[in-house]
Amino acid sequence: MKMNFLTIDKVNKIIELAKLVYGSKAPQSISDIKLTDSNTQAKELIEFLIERQTLNTPINTLSEYINNLSSEETAEAIALMVLGRRDSERQPSDFLELVKEAQGVERHYLVEKSLLAKYLHSGLEKLNLH
């Protein structure tokens, strides 16, 4: 199975940018998450919103890169991400179906995934394109 529009170089660039945004560490388990007071949560939310509005931040660079993909490339990137999720029971033979399902999905869907780099990498591995 291969991708028809999205190049491996572009996938690797998205992975690189996603790592800058979200880091490459594994997700926290619930036991690792500290409960914080509402002031701390509010401060973190404000910092996040300011970062989203500031140019040349990693999140904006990732968003801009993904927004510049064609609709076909975006659909393949979303399909690759879904294929790479651990909880996904989809197989490489499902890739074309996943691409069809991803058509019309908003680009921000990719940007919002904190494990985007991991999912894309796993998707490449499942398709033997790594």
pLDDT at 28: 44
Q: Is residue 31 part of a domain?
A: no
Which residues neighbour 107 within 8 Å (Cβ) at sequence distance 6 or greater? 63, 66, 67, 69, 74
Instruction: Give the domain extent around 116.
Output: 14-26+36-127
Q: Is residue 55 part of a domain?
A: yes
If pLDDT is split at 50, 70 and 90, which confidence band does 58 have?
confident
pLDDT(46) > 90: no
pLDDT at 64: 93
Long-range contacts of residues 112-115, Cβ cutoff 8 Å, at least 24 apart? 113/18, 113/81, 114/22, 114/27, 115/22, 115/27, 115/85
The pTM of the full predicted model, rounded to 2 decimals, is 0.76
Averaged pLDDT of the chain: 85
In this structure, the number of other CB atoms found within 10 A of the CB of residue 93 comes to 8
For the record, the structure tokens of 89 come out as: 């029971």
Number of domains composing the chain: 1
